[in-house]
Structure 1
Amino acid sequence: MLSPVTDPDGAPFWQYAAQGELRVQTCADCAEPRFPPRPCCPHCQSFASEWRPVSGQGRIWSYVVPHPPLLPDYAEQAPYNVIVVELTDAPRIRLVGNLVTGPDAPLGSFAPEQVRIGARVRAVFGDCGLPQWVLERS
């Protein structure tokens, strides 16, 4: 599994994720959430920001199922899904991850043919500290 490459603006995202929390950078002046993290608010140009918790709930906005040829470490796990999740409480924010059957489940644990756009999901965090997604059970 690849590790995230952090930069000063995005490092807090990964620090919170390692603690099992999903937070997004938010402008401390106009309260607009933003992702990817950056120093300046694109709405009001303020440099003030904070990291606010979000519910971790969302819906699948898009997805892809990569097939070989891929990076060697991923080729043996294919096919698997990569989903784009639109957050419920911050609809302008879309995060990329994988739909899995549970925390620490293998990358290909959710059958690619069962992924559906619009499906409700929630974030889970395994030992690796990466946010992944599971189907929301109603």
Structure 2
Amino acid sequence: MTELRLASVLPTERVKIATDASTEPFWQAAKEGRLVAPQCSDCGTFRLPPTPFCPECQSTSMDWIELSGRATVYSFAVVHKFPGQPNLILVPAVVELPDAPGTRLVTNIIDIAPEEVRIGMNLTVDFHPISDAWQLPVFRVDSESEDTTHV
């Protein structure tokens, strides 16, 4: 019988981030268990990853909007046998955030058999501790809106 292996994330000590004035609010919110996105105060355009200038109007003015944490899978890959971690399975993904139209976030999908992941699948955010006491936004199947019994 084959052992069911679920997607996970890299071990805490293997994930490090660097922040700057544009990204610090995103990471501070994640540390608090909140998912946020910057929205231009002038034209309303959301932008992820956070940037100093709005890609639409070039404004530097932004508000940080708290999101619901819902997402859908836009694209994904499955990584088996990560170097130095032969039993680790990763599902890196690009997800769309419906609360922040036009944005996508690169993340990991966790706690699911990789063969069950599909484009358009509904997800919800969770937070995984990483180095230096930060938290990484990761996503799991939104059990309230998905039937995970399909193959």
TM-score in terms of structure 2 length = 0.76
Distance 2:87 2:64 in 1: 34
Equivalent of 1:120, from 97, 119, 122?
A: 122
Percent identity for Structure 1 against Structure 2: 39
Q: Does 1:55 align with 2:52?
A: no
- Do the aligned residues in 1 keep the contact of 2:40 with 2:46 (CA within 8 Å)? yes
Change (3 A) 1:112 1:48: same
The higher relative CO (CA closer than 8 Å, separation ≥ 6) is in: 2
Distance 2:27 2:53 in 1: 19
SS at match of 1:84: strand
- Do the aligned residues in 1 keep the contact of 2:80 with 2:86 (CA within 8 Å)? no
Instruction: Give the unaligned 5+ runs of structure 1.
Output: 102-109
Equivalent of 1:94, from 100, 104, 110?
A: 104
- Do the aligned residues in 1 keep the contact of 2:127 with 2:136 (CA within 8 Å)? yes
Q: CA RMSD in A?
A: 1.6
Name the structure 1 match of 2:21: 8
* AA matched with 2:94: V
Distance 1:94 1:33 in 2: 10
Distance 1:39 1:91 in 2: 19
Shift of 1:100: 1.5
Distance 1:127 1:4 in 2: 12
Equivalent of 1:134, from 134, 140, 145?
A: 140
* AA matched with 2:46: P
Q: How does 1:103-118 map to 2 (within 5 A)?
A: 110-118=112-120
Spell out structure 1 runs of 4+ moving beyond 4 A: none
- Do the aligned residues in 2 keep the contact of 1:80 with 1:111 (CA within 8 Å)? no
Query: In terms of Rg, which structure is larger?
Result: 2
Shift of 1:77: 4.3
Shift of 1:71: 4.4
Shift of 1:34: 0.4
SS at match of 2:79: coil
TM-score in terms of structure 1 length = 0.83
Q: How does 1:7-86 map to 2 (within 5 A)?
A: 7-68=20-81, 70-72=82-84, 75-86=85-96
Alignment: residue pair count:
127
